[in-house]
């Protein structure tokens, strides 16, 4: 955590507790094979905006109570009882569908749906009154996935398959606001191909589930048989986390800045082809073991690790090279400044602005361009590809980024944010936390925030305030809960950039306007 000012220590963050949730994969029969239903999540959502996803949601207290009081309503394993109750309630709320009492699915009466949307407990009440039936309802739990530890909210998500049978049953939007702005039926293979072609976005758990389904259809012949096989032994535990085609994230536990608990290592390239490992930050035995398992899982016949790339010099991004060499051997690529900070980087090459590398794989080749964004620290680089930008420590979806007064440069940092934004990437793959599917919105927020703070620091100096501590108090007056030592250091970063640009000068033990 070398970006912290000297003498500052922060308590370590903890990954949030895991809560149960349920998602439904509705299927229907169609010409040429079964189709499954996904919805396009609206752009304004904080989680997975503009992604195609299954309907579903968290298991609420009322779902748990209903499953405890009425275990006979559904013929499911006790382990999935509350999740299956949540599943049926979410089907009513999000897509307007409910069991028809004969093993099929039908549309729910609109007045009942409105009541359930207003009050989750109304679903149970309407079942007890006989307005909603669970008779003949069939679902299969085909996999469960747990949200990665870097997420601000974590869920153990149970995925259920619910066959509708009738191709005439279609979802409808709920009254008021909806998480979705479009519904579409897809053949699983066509959906996976569209994702692999960067034509749409799908959350990582659904990507790996789709792979499992498509593989099983190849063996079993159809979707229902494939789901039966998955339900017999539901895949669980750790899975690949693919933010985009050819971009797998490996969250490594590191000593990093709260609220982060992990650093994102990236495996670029596809199995069976050339790969680059970005920011393998593993240092502890547990983290090295996890990295080794993920590398082993990504490799297949024909795979070759071309290099390890480091985005910058901070120790929460650079792992134990000796330990990593026992997992794989590859040259190190990084900027000159970063290589100077890496002890023992013998087999190495300098990456600089304008460089690029191409990774060849079974389905084609992908090229990544190097750009320099030195504001966070000297020698910081990003990798720009068709899928998005591996952006290191320029911005994060959860938390904030420090620009250390020791060697950061606030003007360069803001300029780097603008440059990344103006490249128009479809996604950002940051050094910590979830990917950003809406880079422009995130970067605009960062640029606006940092630029406004820059002006507040200049305004404080222009008003006659001269001491660093007083300037910091004035500039951060709108953020009373900010750590005073961090706000002081960030103020110093702003002042040094203002001095470099000729707007402020340091003299007489203080700062003065020019």
Model confidence at 277: pLDDT above 90: yes
Q: What is the pLDDT of residue 44?
A: 86
For the stretch 166-223, pLDDT in tens is 777 899 999 988 999 999 999 999 999 999 998 999 999 999 999 999 999 999 999 9
Q: What total of structural domains would you count in the chain? A: 3
Q: What is the pLDDT of residue 56?
A: 96
pLDDT tier, 236 (very low <50, low <70, confident <90, very high otherwise) = confident
Q: Answer yes or no: is 497 within a domain.
A: yes
134 with 184, same domain: the answer is yes
Which of 232, 264, 288 terminates a domain? The answer is: 232
Q: Answer yes or no: is 335 within a domain.
A: yes
Q: What average pLDDT score do residues 21-42 get?
A: 94
Model confidence at 491: pLDDT above 80: yes
For the stretch 76-132, pLDDT in tens is 888 899 999 999 999 999 999 999 999 999 999 999 999 999 999 999 999 999 999
Task: Provide the β-strand partners of residue 159.
Answer: 23, 143
Which residue in this structure is represented by tokens 């032994």? 233
287 with 376, same domain: the answer is yes
Model confidence at 484: pLDDT above 50: yes
164 with 257, same domain: the answer is no
pLDDT tier, 47 (very low <50, low <70, confident <90, very high otherwise) = confident
d(CA 452, CA 480): 16
CATH of the domain at 384: 3.60.15.10
The pTM for the full model equals: 0.92
23 with 163, same domain: the answer is yes
286 with 421, same domain: the answer is yes
270 with 166, same domain: the answer is no
Among 434, 438, 437, which residue's Cα sits nearest to residue 148? 434
430-to-223, 357, 401, 438, 469 alpha-carbon distances in Å? 36, 20, 11, 12, 32
Which of 404, 437, 470 terminates a domain? The answer is: 437
Q: Answer yes or no: is 146 within a domain.
A: yes
148 with 280, same domain: the answer is no
Q: Answer yes or no: is 117 within a domain.
A: yes
> What proportions of the chain, in percent to the nearest 5, are helix, strand and coil?
35, 25, 45
225 with 256, same domain: the answer is no
Q: Answer yes or no: is 11 within a domain.
A: no
For the stretch 137-174, pLDDT in tens is 999 999 999 988 888 788 999 999 999 977 778 999 99
Do 58 and 21 touch, CB atoms closer than 8 A?
Answer: yes
Q: What is the pLDDT of residue 215?
A: 96
d(CA 119, CA 132): 15
Q: Answer yes or no: is 303 within a domain.
A: yes
Do 144 and 205 touch, CB atoms closer than 8 A?
Answer: no
Q: What average pLDDT score do residues 412-427 get?
A: 97
Mean pLDDT of the residues in the chain: 94
Percent of the chain at pLDDT > 90 equals 83
360 with 215, same domain: the answer is no
For 56, the enclosing helix (H) or strand (E) is strand 56-58
β-strands 348-350, 356-361 pairing: unpaired
Task: Provide the β-strand partners of residue 308.
Answer: 277, 332
For the stretch 396-417, pLDDT in tens is 998 899 999 999 999 999 999 9
Percent of the chain at pLDDT > 70 equals 99
Q: How is residue 458 written in tokens?
A: 């200049």
pLDDT tier, 7 (very low <50, low <70, confident <90, very high otherwise) = low
d(CA 421, CA 426): 10
Among 255, 250, 227, which residue's Cα sits nearest to residue 239? 250
Q: Where are the alpha helices (DSSP H) in 373-480?
A: 410-422, 439-462, 468-475
136 with 261, same domain: the answer is no
Give me the domain span that covers residue 167: 18-232
pLDDT tier, 368 (very low <50, low <70, confident <90, very high otherwise) = very high
Q: What is the pLDDT of residue 1?
A: 46
402 with 487, same domain: the answer is no
Q: What is the pLDDT of residue 258?
A: 84
d(CA 78, CA 99): 20
Q: Answer yes or no: is 130 within a domain.
A: yes
182 with 46, same domain: the answer is yes
């Amino acid at each position: 955590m070398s970006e912290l000012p000297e003498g500052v220590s922060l308590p370590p963050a903890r990954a949030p507790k895991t809560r149960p949730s349920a998602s439904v994969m509705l299927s229907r029969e169609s010409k040429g094979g079964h189709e499954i239903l996904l919805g396009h999540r609206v752009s304004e959502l904080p989680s997975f905006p503009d992604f195609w996803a299954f309907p579903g949601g968290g298991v609420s207290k009322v779902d748990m109570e209903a499953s405890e009081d009425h275990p006979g309503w559904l013929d499911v394993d006790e382990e999935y009882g509350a999740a299956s109750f949540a599943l049926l309630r979410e089907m009513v709320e999000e897509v307007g569908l409910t069991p028809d009492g004969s093993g099929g699915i039908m549309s729910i009466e609109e007045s009942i749906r409105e009541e359930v949307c207003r009050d989750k407990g109304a679903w149970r009440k309407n079942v007890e009154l006989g307005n909603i039936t669970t008779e003949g309802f069939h679902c299969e739990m085909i996999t469960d996935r747990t949200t990665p530890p870097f997420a601000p909210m974590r869920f153990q998500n149970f995925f259920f398959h619910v066959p509708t049978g009738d191709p005439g049953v279609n979802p409808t939007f709920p009254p008021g606001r909806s998480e979705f702005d479009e519904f579409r039926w897809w053949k699983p293979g066509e959906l996976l191909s569209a994702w692999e072609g960067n034509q749409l976005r799908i959350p990582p758990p659904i990507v790996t589930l789709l792979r499992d389904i498509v593989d099983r259809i190849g063996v079993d012949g159809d979707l229902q048989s494939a789901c039966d096989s998955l339900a017999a032994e539901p895949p669980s535990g750790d899975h690949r986390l693919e933010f985009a085609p050819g971009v797998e994230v490996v969250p490594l536990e590191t000593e990093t800045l709260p609220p982060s608990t992990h650093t994102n290592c990236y495996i670029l390239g596809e199995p069976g082809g050339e790969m680059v490992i970005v920011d393998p930050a593993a240092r502890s035995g547990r983290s090295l073991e996890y990295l080794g398992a993920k590398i082993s899982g990504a490799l297949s016949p024909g795979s070759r690790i071309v290099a390890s790339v480091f985005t910058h010099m901070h120790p929460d991004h650079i792992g134990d090279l000796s330990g990593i060499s026992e997992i794989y051997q590859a040259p190190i690529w990084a900027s000159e400044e970063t290589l100077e900070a890496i002890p023992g980087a013998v087999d190495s090459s300098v990456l600089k602005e304008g460089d690029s590398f191409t990774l060849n794989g079974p389905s084609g080749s992908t090229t990544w361009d190097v750009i320099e964004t030195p504001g966070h620290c000297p020698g910081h680089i990003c990798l720009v590809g068709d899928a998005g930008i591996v952006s290191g420590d320029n911005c994060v979806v959860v938390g904030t980024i420090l620009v250390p007064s020791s060697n950061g440069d606030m003007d360069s940092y803001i300029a780097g944010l603008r440059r990344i934004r103006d490249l128009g990437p479809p996604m950002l793959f940051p050094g910590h936390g979830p990917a950003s599917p809406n880079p422009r919105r995130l970067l605009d927020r960062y640029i606006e925030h940092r630029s406004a703070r820059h002006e507040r620091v200049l305004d404080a100096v222009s008003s006659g305030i001269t001491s660093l501590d007083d300037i910091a108090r004035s500039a951060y007056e709108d953020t009373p809960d900010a750590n005073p030592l961090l706000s002081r250091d960030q103020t110093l970063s702003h002042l040094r950039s203002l001095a470099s640009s000729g707007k402020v000068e340091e003299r007489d033990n203080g700062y003065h306007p020019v």
